[in-house]
Every structure is written in C-alpha cells, then in structure tokens.
Chain A
Amino acid sequence: MRPVIPYVAAALLFGLGVYGVLRRRNAVLVLMAVELMLNAVNLLLVTANAAPLATVSGPPAAAPAAPDAPAVDTAAAPPLTGQAFSLFVIVIAAAEVGVGLAIVLQLYRLRATIAVDDVPLDTHTPDTGPRAVVAAAPAAPARDGSASREPGPGERARGAER
C-alpha cells in the first residue's frame, strides 16, 4: 500500500474545508465545510495508524521495523492509537455540530438570516423579539422601530440594578 495516496487525499480535503469555511456565507454551509476538515483529520489519523513514518520502507521494501528489542511484541500487535483518536474526533465533531446548529437556529430566529457576514459584531441589539426583527428586516433599524415595545427580561434586570 502506498501511504502517500490517502495522505494527499486528506491534505486536499483539508484545503477544501478551509476554502469552504472562508468562502461560504451561509452558516450551515460553513458547518459542512468544518465537517470536511474534521474528516480530513480523521483520514490522516487512520492513515498514520496504518503507515507511521518510522516503518515506511523505500521502494526496495526492506522493512526494518524497529531495531530495539522491546519492539518485537509491539510489532506482533501494533497499537491502534490513531484509530482510537479518530473515534474521539468523531465524537467531538458530533458534539460540535449539535451545538453549532443550535446556535445557527437561534441566529435565524433572532435575525431572520443566517448569512455570517450579516451579523453585526460591534453593536449589541437587546432582545427585540422576533416580530420586531421581521418587521424591520435589515436588523439595524430594528432598535429604532422597537422603542415602544415592552422591556425584555434582560432590560428589566438591568433596570433593577440601576
């Protein structure tokens, strides 16, 4: 088996994931690109488990395993560290995508859009409620249009502090 083939596939998948994260505007598509990156790392771990750099032989295929004496019993049953780590990465990816999609859905409820570059990072809009946001869709005038609404729970808490 030539390990360079899956290694290069993993590297290209990772590059595609980076490109997708930077290029896409839709938050769900950004999460899909993140999944591609995580999968590339999984492929890298599994390939490294099957073909670690220390055991790679040249084209003459003279495979000197490890010259040490205690390496004999590990060569009989090589450890599966890479596969175990790829299982861990799969679990972390599942947790990540669950929380990430919950955040994306909350963003959609709040702004009625999930384009990542429509999210204002420098202004804090207090809880205006879904009606106010939908009425004034481009999010910025929502604060002006919602002057007569009832104070949200956060604002009431802040007023109590004052």
Chain B
Amino acid sequence: MTGTDALTLALGAVAVGAGALVVTTRHLVRAGLYLVVSLGAVAGLFLVLTAELVAWVQLLIYVGAVVVLLLFAVMLTRAPIGASDDLDRPGWPAALIGGGAGLGLAALLVDAYRWSTVELPEPGTAERLGAEVFGSWVLPFEVLSVLLLSALVGAVVVSVRIPGRRR
C-alpha cells in the first residue's frame, strides 16, 4: 500500500460517504452542500489519477456551476429550510436496485482487477489533452458545441413561457 493507494482510498471514502449523505439527508440545502464535498473528492481522485485538466474542469463546472444552479433551484422552488419528512418514498425497491447495481458493478470490477498494480502514466496536462481532443475527437467536440447551444436555447424557451399567461 503506497501513498497513492492511501490517497485514493481516503478520497474515495470521502466521495462515497458524502454521496451517501446526499441521497439520505433530510435537509435539501445540506444535500447540495454534501454534493460539493463528494464532487470535490472526485476531483481530488482525478488529480491523483493524473487527470489534471479534468480535475480543474470538474471543479469549475460541477462545483462552481452545477451545484450553484441546483441551490438556486432549491431556493426558487421555495424549499423548506429545516428538515422535511416528505422527501423520500418508501424505498425497499430503491435500496434493492441501487445496492444491487453498486455492489454488482463493484464485484465485477474487483473480479477483473483483483489486487493488481499499474504504473501511473504521464499526467494529462492541458497540452496533451488538447492535442487529443482536437486531434482525434474533433467531430464529437463540434457536435457537443451544437448540443450546448441547443440546450441553452431550450432552457430559455422552456422557462420563458409562463403557463396560462396570455400573450
């Protein structure tokens, strides 16, 4: 067990623990804040796994933008401030399916990788990742820009129209 392993173990434990709190807490706002912790720990895992640029993009977009958007949605839908009891459905099927999916995937990956070791590759700096994206994956990149534009327009169109208002 090297230092890298200890680091991945600690960050993975933080990510999974905060994720468990996200799906079980009874405070809406705290769920968003636990999501920040979980996504930040995943960003740290990206750093350990030599994905520098992905880690910073994760921090910028997820922690910076997506969580703020979610918290704004919590505020705009007039969520209760304290703990609320009606956030959950009675959930044995959910526990069964979620636990089955998680533990099944974990068992599959453990069976595939056992306790093996690999050497970490060179860090994925912005230069190398940029060369990869603009060398091999130009078409998906362009399609994604069109997707982002249409999502922007779609979000505006959906939220501008107030139901029942006469034009």
Say whether A84 contacts B89, CB under 8 Å.
no
Residue A157 at the chain B interface, CB threshold 8 Å: no
Say whether A130 contacts B162, CB under 8 Å.
yes
- Number of cross-chain contacts by CB at 8 Å: 314
Say whether A128 contacts B164, CB under 8 Å.
yes
Interface members, chain A 76-133 (any B CB < 8 Å): 77-81, 83-84, 86-88, 90-99, 101-106, 108-110, 114-115, 117, 127-132
Say whether B112 contacts A18, CB under 8 Å.
no
Q: How far is the CA of A89 from the CA of B141 in the complex (A)?
A: 11
What distance in Å separates the Cβ of A61 from its nearest Cβ neighbour in chain B? Answer: 6
Interface members, chain B 114-165 (any A CB < 8 Å): 114-122, 124, 128-129, 132-133, 136-137, 140-141, 144, 147-148, 151-152, 154-156, 158-159, 161-165
Q: How far is the CA of A28 from the CA of B122 in the complex (A)?
A: 39
CB-CB nearest in chain B for A111: B163
Residue A5 at the chain B interface, CB threshold 8 Å: yes
Interface members, chain A 37-83 (any B CB < 8 Å): 39, 42-43, 46-47, 49-51, 53, 55-59, 61, 63, 77-81, 83
Residue A16 at the chain B interface, CB threshold 8 Å: yes
Known contacts A4-B116, A13-B19, A87-B54: A29-B28 contact under CB 8 Å: yes
Q: How far is the CA of A88 from the CA of B141 in the complex (A)?
A: 8
Interface members, chain A 9-24 (any B CB < 8 Å): 9-20, 22-24
Say whether A1 contacts B4, CB under 8 Å.
yes
Q: How far is the CA of A115 from the CA of B118 in the complex (A)?
A: 46
Q: Which one, B1, B23, B49, B100, contacts A16 given CB within 8 A? A: B23
Say whether B129 contacts A2, CB under 8 Å.
no
Say whether A99 contacts B158, CB under 8 Å.
yes
- Across-interface contacts of A153 in B (CB, < 8 A): 166-167
Q: How far is the CA of A102 from the CA of B122 in the complex (A)?
A: 41
- Given A9-B12, A95-B147, 8 other A-B contacts at CB below 8 A? A4-B114, A5-B5, A20-B98, A42-B58, A55-B118, A80-B128, A84-B129, A102-B155
* Residues of B near any A CB (own CB < 8 A): 1-2, 4-5, 8-9, 11-13, 15-16, 19-20, 22-23, 28, 31-32, 35, 38-39, 42, 45-46, 49-51, 53-54, 57-58, 61-62, 65-66, 69-70, 72-74, 76-77, 79, 86-89, 91, 93-95, 97-103, 105-106, 108-110, 112-122, 124, 128-129, 132-133, 136-137, 140-141, 144, 147-148, 151-152, 154-156, 158-159, 161-167
11 contacting pairs across A/B (C-beta < 8 A): A13-B38, A20-B98, A29-B31, A39-B62, A42-B54, A55-B118, A77-B122, A98-B155, A99-B151, A103-B158, A108-B76
* Residues of A near any B CB (own CB < 8 A): 1-20, 22-26, 28-29, 31-33, 35-36, 39, 42-43, 46-47, 49-51, 53, 55-59, 61, 63, 77-81, 83-84, 86-88, 90-99, 101-106, 108-110, 114-115, 117, 127-132, 150, 152-153
